[in-house]
Structure 1
């Protein structure tokens, strides 16, 4: 009797937001043998216990930039099936500027966002090559990689570097069956987004929501599952000839030019 071995995946920052949405979408595929979620905060993984497919989720608690943590996740994924995809989603959000923070602080913040992606890419590529199976990597960038927001210098810099890393690895390892792509979300309604709004008074929260609707031509911020859908597509065989791309998943935010003379139609 032939035994079918399922596909397995690693998702960093898998406890909340986009990372959790990716994990849950992958679990909805009958061909998924297992999903390994890397997460620094154990409490963020409480959803796994009550999830109908929670038995197919393995968790690794730790920093996604730590090579030992990434290796443990890769081991767990290969125990669950054929390691097929790796999603580098983990990120750190902290504002900093060159006029008010030391270069050491700025570099540390750049590294906090770039290092997890680099570590994840390196681990995934090595495992794909060793297994001879090929595979797909998706890095989570941001619209800020190309359209900077004041006060976010380290985050903007790191996300731009992640897009460069995506292109570099795509051309180096594409010939060996490894595809590397990125998605660049706009604003996304995650737990962090909702917590931020909840901390504002009603008038301020309404003003922020209005501004967000104006920034996104679709008139709203994204849901995490909408970003996850794009990521899972890029991991799939249906995206088998997409390599080295950064796909905007931002409702048109990155192509919007706010005209000061414009008026509502």
Structure 2
């Protein structure tokens, strides 16, 4: 039977790159009689799901339009995944980029924006963990459970969880909470064969990044590109496919002994300390 996955925020950017990588990476189905991985894509914007219809692997794709923070949406995605295969992995990728300031905005607004980035991860983890636990063999010993991964979750964090950027208070706070939750869930559910990890990208060349550059004049866009190169020791921003590669690795059998980790996929941005005299 095929393995199935749920990817939230999977219509664009990193999420879509994860979907493409899962569709292309069928190593986990070898010898299982499956015909390739099945992916359920959750996306708030229905327009961002239009590409699913014409995709060469459309038969292995399903889309759910809605907010991943809505438990009924997440449950619908899990139902579709389980109807198509063995639910093996869940990626919480959806994010909201809106700022609020404590000196300008009511605390309630700040909390709402923190929740906008945190709630979907909490809901996604809850639904995935319940489905993974329900798959456990009745009467299985703790030793047997510990030897096999029942399911894997990857939460998408950010380098900002540890190195805050001015003007991003709700986002930074939510991402730090996501990393803490990742560690807590890994400890809580590791004995049940459930692995929970996070990846923390730096800047990524997504549609949002390209739109930012396009909104600037040529000189301003070039200046941004130079600044981004200086912030990343590897001299450039990431491609979405590079972040997706790390996520899919953490979902797979080759990462069977990795849990509770936050893996930076940031070209060294989080470890760079600029020399003030340079």
TM range (shorter): over 0.9
48-57 or 35-44, which deviates more: 48-57
Determine the C-alpha separation between the residues in 1 that align with 2:224 and 2:13. 20
Q: Secondary structure at the match of 1:258?
A: coil
Does residue 1:157 correspond to 2:161, yes or no? no
TM-score normalised per structure 1: 0.96
Q: CA deviation at 1:104?
A: 0.9
Aligned-partner Cα distance in 2 for 1:38–1:71: 11
Q: CA contact under 8 A between 1:33 and 1:80: conserved in structure 2?
A: no
Tell me by how many angstroms 1:243 deviates: 0.4
In 1: Cα distance, 2:120 partner to 2:79 partner: 17
Q: How does 1:11-90 map to 2 (within 5 A)?
A: 11-30=7-26, 31=29, 32-90=36-94
Are the aligned partners of 2:199 and 2:247 in contact in 1 as well (CA < 8 Å)? yes
Match in the other structure for 1:147: 163
Give the Cα separation in 1 of the matches to 2:169 and 2:37. 39
Uncovered stretches (5+) of structure 1, i.e. residues with no partner: none
Deviation per CA, 1:110-152, whole angstroms, max 9, x where unpaired? 0000000000000000000001171000000000000001111
- Cα deviations by residue, 1:151-172 (Å, 9 ceiling, x for unpaired): 1100000000000000000000
* Displacement of 1:50: 2.2
- Can you give the 5+ residue segments of structure 2 that lack an aligned partner in the other structure? 30-35, 137-148
Q: Which of 131, 154, 167 does residue 127 from structure 1 map onto? A: 131
State the match for 1:253 in structure 2.
Answer: 269
- In 1, Cα distance between equivalents of 2:167 and 2:89: 33
**Aligned with 1:213 (options 223, 226, 229):** 229
Find the aligned partners of 2:239 and 2:100 in 1 and give their Cα distance: 27
User: Could you say which residue in structure 1 is the equivalent of 2:204?
Assistant: 188
Q: Tell me the SS of whatever aligns to 1:76.
A: helix
Identify the residue that residue 98 of structure 1 maps to in structure 2.
Answer: 102
Counterpart in 2 of 1:138?
Answer: 154
Q: What TM-score results when the alignment is normalised by the length of structure 2?
A: 0.91
| Partner residue, 2:143 | none
Secondary structure in structure 2 of the residue aligned to 1:158: helix
Deviation at 1:261, TM superposition (A): 1.9
Residue deviations 1:164-202 (CA, integer Å, cap 9, x gap): 000000000000000000000000000011011100011
CA distance in 1, matches of 2:51, 2:261: 32
Rounded to whole Å, the distance in 1 between the matches of 2:105 and 2:167 is 11
3-state SS of paired residue (2:37): strand
Residue 167 (str. 1) matches residue 183 (str. 2): yes
Q: Cα offset for 1:97? A: 1.3
- Distance in 1 separating the partners of 2:261 and 2:101: 29
Measured in 1, the distance between the counterparts of 2:115 and 2:174 equals 7
Please name the residue that 1:224 is paired with.
Answer: 240
The answer to whether structure 1 residue 6 and structure 2 residue 22 are counterparts is no
* Aligned partners of 2:22 and 2:37 also within 8 Å: no
Shift of 1:100: 1.2
Counterpart among 105, 111, 136 of residue 107 in structure 1: 111
In the alignment, which residue of structure 1 is the partner of 2:251? 235
